[in-house]
Amino acid sequence: MLVVLQRVEQASVSVNDKILGSINRGLLLLVAVAPDDSEQDIDWLINKILSLKIFPDYAGRMKQSVQDVSGELLIISQFTLYGDVRKGTVPSWSNAASPDLAKEMYDKFVASMQESCDLKVAQGEFQAHMMVELVNDGPVTLVIDSPVPAKK
């Protein structure tokens, strides 16, 4: 799995002008699923995301996690993260999971995140054309790829 994480002051996602999810201070997570991803990837990513020290402490140093600051989470599926543009001008989606597998894994990711923390967890709509608005804080943006042994 691949996650683009952005520290935000606020973020929201809407479909057809209807807001499906919104958060205040916290993390916006754009999530893509690969064909060989497993529940181990989900567990590893959730542990990593919830423990990352990327929020400022009283001295302004990044030494607090999203849990430490009682932040919120907005999770959005985004298969285009696996778009391969090395050849030609049309992205290849061969590195992305099939829609059925991606939905199953995305739903498990969201459910596992909800079970793993007491933070507000909002989400978008799988396979919908979404409009995402955010105020990036920092900006702090990280790309996190789960460590599947077959990939490395």
Q: Which residues are catalytic?
A: 78-80
Q: For residue 76, how far is the Cα from the chain centroid? A: 6
Strand intervals (E) in the chain: 2-15, 18-23, 26-32, 55-56, 62-64, 72-77, 121-123, 131-145
Residue in this structure with the two tokens 């994480």, named with its chain if needed: 5
Cβ-based neighbour number of residue 73 at 10 Å: 25
The angle subtended at Cα 52 by Cα 46 and Cα 57, nearest 5°, is 140
The Cα–Cα gap between 29 and 77 comes to 8
> What SS3 state is found at 121?
strand
For the chain, helix (H) and strand (E) counts, in that order, are: 2, 8
